[in-house]
Amino acid sequence: EKLYRIQGWGEPYFSINAAGHVTVSPKGDHGGSLDLYQLVEALRRRNIELPLLIRFSDILADRIERLNACFAKAIARYNYPNVYRGVYPIKCNQHRHIVESLVRYGKPYHFGLEAGSKPELMIALATLEPVANPQNNQFPLLICNGYKDQEYIETALLATRLGQRPIIVIEQLEEVDLILKISRQFEIKPIVGVRAKLSSKGIGRWGNSAGDRAKFGLTIPEILTVVNRLEACQMLDCLQLLHFHIGSQISSISVIKDAIREAAQIYGELVKLGAHMQYLDVGGGLGVDYDGSKTNFYASKNYNMQNYANDIVAEVKEACEERNITAPVLVSESGRAIAAHHSVLIFDVLGTNEVPRTPPIAVEEKEHLIIRNLRETYNSINEDNYQETFHDAAQFKEEAISLFNFGYLSLKERSKAEQLYWACCGKILEIARKQEYVPDDLEDLEKIMASIYYVNLSVFQSAADAWAIDQLFPIMPIHRLTEEPTQRGILADLTCDSDGKIDKFIDLTDVKSVLELHPFKNPDRSDNEPYYLGMFLMGAYQEIMGNLHNLFGDTNVVHITTNPKGYQIEYLVKGDTISEVLGYVQYNAEDLLENIRRRTEQALQDNRITLEESQLLLQDYERSLRRYTYLMDND
Ligand code: PLP
């Protein structure tokens, strides 16, 4: 448990059972748990192949419940005289089953949706129930963010005729005139918000969503221009919402507090200017503790959901009391904190490449001096000289390569020199691991000696942020956890791209370059036993950011819901077939197949292939077109 820090990032959903398997408790503390390894085996028996994304719908429900419970508690604690109305930002994970489930689970809390683009607006308008009674505040909000053209605004405004109540958030000055024009044309009074560029900045990977030069939002002079334009058209009463978003995954609570304080003042000033303000929308940013360290490290956060809600409620209440104005409905747009936990990516190890750790046994009579030096270095390594011998071995290895390049060392001799060098590193590493303090120059030793675990996935498709912005996700075996993981490895994916690897793993407020893993071939059990790894907290942003590098397509996805009898596969969304991904790049599977058929006929005529071979080739080609893009078990 300690090794993979599962308690830190996994509670209350993931843990380890006595059999050494990861377990999932989708309802958090309120329900039973599932053995993840057994679940994967059961899914494979249904011919659902790996890599496989498992979505636990009950976790989504639990996240919504928690967020609302935290705000309800904060509102009660501080006697806040208004309500919380959260919205889910569709961009975080747009998949239909997720958005529909969230709307269903969010119903008791009037949980709404946020759209950041026209396609997302179209999802929101068709998914959210129309508002029956707009007077009573008991309905989910629909926040319309992002760049807007005429069609976007027209669609949003006309949807009010269907019973929707979209709040159109102005992010660019040009949008004001468009909104005014369209609302006049249809005689529909819009509900308008403004997105402020705060000077309080986020930190970390997504930190530049705020500040004067942020991509979105209005500066204070621009907000005043909006106020003046609305006022000139007697429509200042339409301005009802103030929005800001200082970036995703805010790891420090003090940054959030600063932003709320600034926003609450702007809100108060807008009220003073005569806007009929009703909503303060604090955007996203509520972080996820990916490394379990509970610190302000970028993969973590130094606060919990309750602290977040408390600070928002307390700050806004205080600012409103000081100004003697009505407290707003509090809105947040948390995506990551709602969606991240519910998805786990399961993938299998296909093979490993290990650095040889034993020196070549055969000592030849006329061994080259450099080989003799390396062998002597190997034999002399001990606790007192391990740092010094590391430098000797490295230097001898460099010399061996130079000698080879000048033609003084044969290929066989170079091979021996390299093997001896690895053997030295292995021996030194074993000593270094036992030391309390590891000298700086030896820190890379783990990396040098790491095994490569080839895994059945594409980092570009399934964990885009791990590749693009070095985001850290917890990764661990989902079984064999009673066995000591004696190996240290990095993960290499299926793509022919040297960036298609994972060599940064969570560590306590740090990043480590190797992951503790088990020997791929389990010595105690059958050779064919698969080795499954899980990548956790994958539900936010990864799926839609994934790309088709090397034409590895969408993975299989299952939605699991739990019930008193165990679990049920609510939905199965099959991953892309080869013919589908070929279609994305404008190939037609039928044409390709026909082309190959014609070529086999030609080869048959020329006696370059037998009839049986040609039929096997065509059969394989045709079958592959219908198959998953990832590697499958050999028959
Ligand atoms: N709201 C807006 C405007 C955003 O741009 C984002 C994403 O960056 C979010 C909400 C969701 O943020 P998070 O996933 O950090 O909750």
ipTM of the complex: 0.99
Nearest CA to ligand 1 atom 8: 248
Nearest CA to ligand 1 atom 12: 284
- Name the pairing type of β-strands 239-243 and 279-281: parallel
- In terms of domains, do 95 and 229 share one? yes
Does a structural domain hold residue 497?
A: no
Tell how far the Cα of 206 is from the centroid of ligand 1, in angstroms.
10
- In terms of domains, do 221 and 182 share one? yes
Does a structural domain hold residue 185?
A: yes
Q: Is the C-alpha dihedral spanning 10, 102, 133, 176 positive or negative?
A: positive
In eight-state DSSP terms, residue 501 is E
- In terms of domains, do 323 and 394 share one? no
Find out whether 282 is annotated in a ligand binding site. Answer: yes
Point out the domain boundary residue: 384, 416, 447.
Answer: 447
Closest C-alpha among 339, 290, 347 to residue 539: 339
- In terms of domains, do 236 and 318 share one? yes
Find out whether 455 is annotated in a ligand binding site. Answer: no
Does a structural domain hold residue 148?
A: yes
Q: What is the DSSP string of 121-164?
A: HHHHHHHSPPPS-GGGS-S--EEE-S---HHHHHHHHHGGGGT-
- Which residues in the chain land under pLDDT 70? 1, 201-213, 523-527, 634-635
Residue 397 belongs to domain with CATH number: 1.20.58.930
In eight-state DSSP terms, residue 5 is T
pLDDT score recorded for residue 363? 77
Q: Provide the angle, in degrees to the nearest 10, between the axes of the packed helices 253-272 and 220-232.
A: 30
Which residues contact residue 114 at a Cβ distance below 8 angstroms, ignoring those fewer than 6 apart? 87, 88, 89, 90, 91, 124, 142, 143, 145, 333
Give the distance from CA 624 to its chain's centroid.
30
Cross-strand bridge partners of residue 501: 492
Nearest CA to ligand 1 atom 6: 284
Angular region, 137: left φ>0, alpha ψ -120 to 50, beta rest:
left
Point out the domain boundary residue: 415, 447, 479.
Answer: 447
- Which atom of ligand 1 has the smallest separation from the CA of 89? 10
Residues 65, 491: Cα–Cα separation, whole Å: 36
Q: Supply 521's token pair.
A: 């071939």
Find out whether 591 is annotated in a ligand binding site. Answer: no
Residues 9, 66: Cα–Cα separation, whole Å: 16
> Within 204-252, where are the H helices?
220-232
Does a structural domain hold residue 470?
A: no
Nearest CA to ligand 1 atom 4: 284
Does a structural domain hold residue 21?
A: no
pLDDT score recorded for residue 364? 77
Tell how far the Cα of 335 is from the centroid of ligand 1, in angstroms.
6
Q: Which of 245, 256, 303, 541 to mutate to test the pocket of ligand 1 (most atoms within 8 A of CB)?
A: 245
- Which atom of ligand 1 has the smallest separation from the CA of 92? 14
Tell how far the Cα of 291 is from the centroid of ligand 1, in angstroms.
20
Q: Supply 457's token pair.
A: 């996935």
- In terms of domains, do 180 and 273 share one? yes
Residues 52, 298: Cα–Cα separation, whole Å: 27
pLDDT score recorded for residue 77? 98
- Which atom of ligand 1 has the smallest separation from the CA of 206? 8
117-161 residue pLDDT tens? 999 999 999 999 998 887 777 899 999 999 999 999 999 999 999
Which residues contact residue 328 at a Cβ distance below 8 angstroms, ignoring those fewer than 6 apart? 82, 242, 267, 277, 278, 279, 280, 316, 320
As annotated, the active-site residues are 496
Ligand 1: lining residues by beta carbon, under 6 Å: 89, 92, 114, 145, 245, 248-249, 283-286, 333-337, 540
- In terms of domains, do 430 and 334 share one? no
Tell how far the Cα of 248 is from the centroid of ligand 1, in angstroms.
6
- In terms of domains, do 225 and 289 share one? yes
- In terms of domains, do 294 and 390 share one? no
Does a structural domain hold residue 68?
A: no
Q: Which of 332, 333, 338, 545 to mutate to test the pocket of ligand 1 (most atoms within 8 A of CB)?
A: 333
Say how many Å lie between the first and final Cα of the chain, rounded.
36
Q: Supply 76's token pair.
A: 């009660």
Closest C-alpha among 89, 181, 91 to residue 142: 89
Count the neighbouring beta carbons within 10 Å of the beta carbon of residue 56: 27
- In terms of domains, do 116 and 168 share one? yes
- In terms of domains, do 280 and 419 share one? no
> Within 435-471, where are the H helices?
445-449, 459-462, 464-468
Beta strands in 116-238 (DSSP E): 142-144, 166-170, 191-195
The type of residue at 366 is K
Tell how far the Cα of 209 is from the centroid of ligand 1, in angstroms.
10
User: What pTM was estimated for this model as a whole?
Assistant: 0.95
Query: Containing domain of residue 435, as a range?
Result: 369-447
Which residues contact residue 70 at a Cβ distance below 8 angstroms, ignoring those fewer than 6 apart? 305, 306, 308, 309
- Which atom of ligand 1 has the smallest separation from the CA of 249? 15
Phi, psi of 211 (to 5 degrees): 95, 165
Longest dimension (CA), the chain: 100
- In terms of domains, do 170 and 219 share one? yes
Does a structural domain hold residue 545?
A: no
Cβ pair 581, 626 in contact under 8 A = no
Find out whether 169 is annotated in a ligand binding site. Answer: no
Does a structural domain hold residue 149?
A: yes
In eight-state DSSP terms, residue 425 is H
Find out whether 211 is annotated in a ligand binding site. Answer: no
Q: Which of 91, 208, 255, 341 to mutate to test the pocket of ligand 1 (most atoms within 8 A of CB)?
A: 91
Residues 19, 35: Cα–Cα separation, whole Å: 9
In eight-state DSSP terms, residue 628 is B
Find out whether 283 is annotated in a ligand binding site. Answer: yes
The sheet with strand 279-281 has its strands ordered as: 87-89, 112-115, 142-144, 166-170, 191-195, 239-243, 279-281, 329-331
Residue 140, preceding peptide bond in cis (omega within 30° of 0) = no
The type of residue at 87 is V
- In terms of domains, do 114 and 183 share one? yes
Point out the domain boundary residue: 447, 477, 495.
Answer: 447
Q: Supply 534's token pair.
A: 């899980």
How many domains in the chain? 3
Secondary structure of residue 192 in the 3-state scheme: strand
